[in-house]
Chains A and B, each alone.
Chain A
C-alpha cells in the first residue's frame, strides 16, 4: 500500500521568502506525482503533474522535482506572496488510484 508523507505539517514565512514543501512516498512504481492547492472550505486545484519519466515540472513561480529512486518530491514556490497561503497536498498515482499526503498548511505573512 502506498504511503505518502508531507513534512512539515505547517509552515509560516514572511512575504518574499522562498517556500520548500516536501513529499515522500513508499512505492516508487508510480505513474505520476501531482501537487494540489486547497483553500479553506474549497476544492482541490491541480498545480503541477510530474510524470514518472520526468525529473521536474515548472509553472510560473512553481517548480516541482521528482526523485523516484528515493521516493521524494519537492515543491518550490519562489518569492512567496500572501495569496500563496493555503494547504498544499501531494498525491502519488499507482494504477488508477491517487494516494494523498496529509498536506502542508502554508501561511505567508505580509
Chain B
C-alpha cells in the first residue's frame, strides 16, 4: 500500500469554525490531491498540488484553501465550516500526471459539521 495517512480520521465541528485536515505521504510523489465524496455526487476534486507551494483549484474549491510547504504534507483548510461541507475527504497522490501514473488514495477523513 502507498504510504498515505490522513488526520484526523473523524471530526465533528460546529458551523463557522475553522478546520484543517492533513495528508501525509512517504512516497515522495510530486502530485497530491484532495477529493470529497458525497452520496449522489461521487468523488469530486477540491484542490491539487503539483509541487511545494504549487497548488491549483479543482471543480469544487469554493470554501476551501490548501497549502503545501513540504513535499510530504498537503493541508486542506475550511476557513469557516458549513453544513454543506459535511463529507468524507480523501487525499490522493501520484508520481506524475501523465500516462501510466496511478493515483493512490488515503483512508479518508469523515467530517461532520453541525
A, B from the same assembly: yes
On chain A, the number of residues with a Cβ less than 8 Å from chain B's Cβ atoms is 24
- When each residue 41-77 of chain B gets 1 if its CB lies under 8 Å from chain A and 0 otherwise, what string results? 0111100101000000010000000000000000000
Q: Is A63 an interface residue (CB 8 A)?
A: no
The CB with the most chain B CB atoms within 10 A, among A43, A49, A89, is that of A43
On chain B, the number of residues with a Cβ less than 8 Å from chain A's Cβ atoms is 23
Contact B108 A103 (CB under 8 A): no
A49 to chain B: which residues have CB within 8 Å?
100, 102
Q: Give residues 23-74 of A contacting B (CB, 8 Å).
A: 31-32, 34, 36, 42-46, 49, 51-53
Q: Is A100 an interface residue (CB 8 A)?
A: yes
Q: Interface residues of A: mostly helix, strand, loop or mixed? A: strand
A30's nearest neighbour on chain B, judged by CB, is: B99
Known: A43-B105, A43-B106, A44-B105. A53 touches B42 (CB 8 A): no
Q: Give residues 70-104 of B contacting A (CB, 8 Å).
A: 90, 92, 97-104
Contact A100 B102 (CB under 8 A): no
Known: A96-B50, A97-B45, A103-B42. A53 touches B107 (CB 8 A): no
Minimum distance in angstroms from B87 CB to a CB of chain A: 14
Q: Is A108 an interface residue (CB 8 A)?
A: no
Cα distance, A21 to B90, chains bound together (Å): 24
A45 to chain B: which residues have CB within 8 Å?
105
Cα distance, A32 to B101, chains bound together (Å): 8
Minimum distance in angstroms from B45 CB to a CB of chain A: 6
A98 to chain B: which residues have CB within 8 Å?
33, 43, 45, 92, 103
Cα distance, A32 to B97, chains bound together (Å): 10
Contact B102 A46 (CB under 8 A): yes
Known: A31-B99, A51-B99, A101-B42. A96 touches B48 (CB 8 A): yes
Contact A100 B103 (CB under 8 A): no
Known: A96-B31, A96-B48. A32 touches B42 (CB 8 A): no
A86 to chain B: which residues have CB within 8 Å?
none
- State the A residues within 8 Å of B (CB): 31-32, 34, 36, 42-46, 49, 51-53, 89, 91, 93, 95-98, 100-103
